[in-house]
Structure 1
């Protein structure tokens, strides 16, 4: 981490974050700095790119806008993140510099170095911030975990989807993504129904 940034401060703010140099990818969660380097793997980037491309195609002409990292998402005075993929349906949240407030959908593709943060700190942050749908993709095990915000303001039990399945997004009712394409796999063979 850049020595200009590493200060002895208990809690950083968005104002601190915006003053730091752009040569490193960092996130700010509950006022604490999280380093995002080194760069993600090729498989991580391929999955991220494919998810974004399919969203962009399926949302063309609609009011919801997909984004791909790096885009700053400001969730509070002490929280700035750069999700792998996100969708914003409220145009008032989109500014020239960043996204202000909770996106409707956030997608994180796990990397060994940042998986725990995505599964723990970020999940809690997204829930607290009101992100309607949080999708976590495991590129090694080739499955998807989806969390949906309930009426009580908490994520319900996670749903798990495998690579041969399609993911129907709850935050975007008309969008269904074939996960085998997201993972770069061959389409699944149709089920064989035997009749006796």
Structure 2
């Protein structure tokens, strides 16, 4: 930083609480990001489908809960996010206004305006704070990236096309991606056990 340039003050969750209620924001490492415009109908349809599949298989979640945006997740005073979908197992982290702490699973459905932030800044943030499983859904390209925390790091993504199933690593749940993307199910092999 050049000499004489004042250091930017990091925004905190307390600052955020004083902002107008009719605006949605996230704070990443003390930098505010406006969450406008609102998501497209296609984005919301994909979110609904993912949340619906999780809800239909909720017995695999045990005592954990599913939350949808906009829900403030306060990871620390300088990091407040509103994931599209999250699963949280720590009920003691739920307050009257927000979630205080780290979700077990986060799903972000990208839009053209959020792809870089979701794949770079938010991925690093979730990794650093210990989100066990991070799933990024790409509606236009009809595929999914999954990151799983192992020894404090995500490593490379597991990639899934629309015609595949994704078995969550954090919970015993299978997401059939053709249902998420509202596609015709892939044809099953015509070979049966009796033919072998």
TM over 0.5: yes
1:49 alignment partner in structure 2 = 48
Q: Extract unaligned runs of 5+ from structure 2.
A: 1-6
1:76 aligned partner: 76
What CA distance in whole angstroms lies between the structure 2 residues aligned with 1:171 and 1:165? 18
Q: Counterpart of 1:4?
A: none
**Who wins on radius of gyration, i.e. which is larger?**
2
**In the TM superposition, what is the alpha-carbon distance from 1:9 to its structure 2 partner?**
5.3
Relative to structure 2, which stretch is displaced further, 25-34 or 10-19?
Answer: 10-19
Q: Secondary structure at the match of 2:27?
A: strand
Aligned to 1:182: 180
The equivalent residue for 1:107 is: 107
| Cα deviation, residue 91, structure 1 | 0.9
Alignment match, 1:36: 35
Give the ranges of 4+ consecutive aligned residues of structure 1 lying more than 3 Å apart after TM superposition: 192-196
Question: How large is the RMSD of aligned CA atoms in angstroms?
Answer: 1.8
Spell out, residue by residue over 1:42-97, the C-alpha distance to the aligned partner (whole angstroms, 9 max, x if none).
11100001111111221158201011110000001100000000000111111121
Q: Is the 8 A contact 1:56 1:65 kept in 2?
A: no
- TM score, norm. by length of structure 1: 0.90
Task: After TM superposition, give the deviation of residue 125 of structure 1 in Å.
Answer: 0.4
Distance 1:154 1:57 in 2: 30
C-alpha contact 1:64 1:90 (8 A) present in aligned 2:
yes
Q: Secondary structure at the match of 1:87?
A: strand
TM-score in terms of structure 2 length? 0.90
The separation in 2 between residues aligned to 1:10 and 1:114, in whole angstroms, is 24
- Measured after TM superposition, the shift of residue 135 of structure 1 is 0.1
Counterpart in 2 of 1:150? 150
Distance 2:14 2:68 in 1: 23
**Distance across 2 between alignment mates of 1:38 and 1:126:** 23
Aligned residue number for residue 64 of structure 1: 64
Q: What is the aligned residue count?
A: 187
Gaps of 5+ in 1: 1-7
Once the two structures are TM-superposed, the CA of residue 192 in structure 1 deviates from its matched residue by 4.1
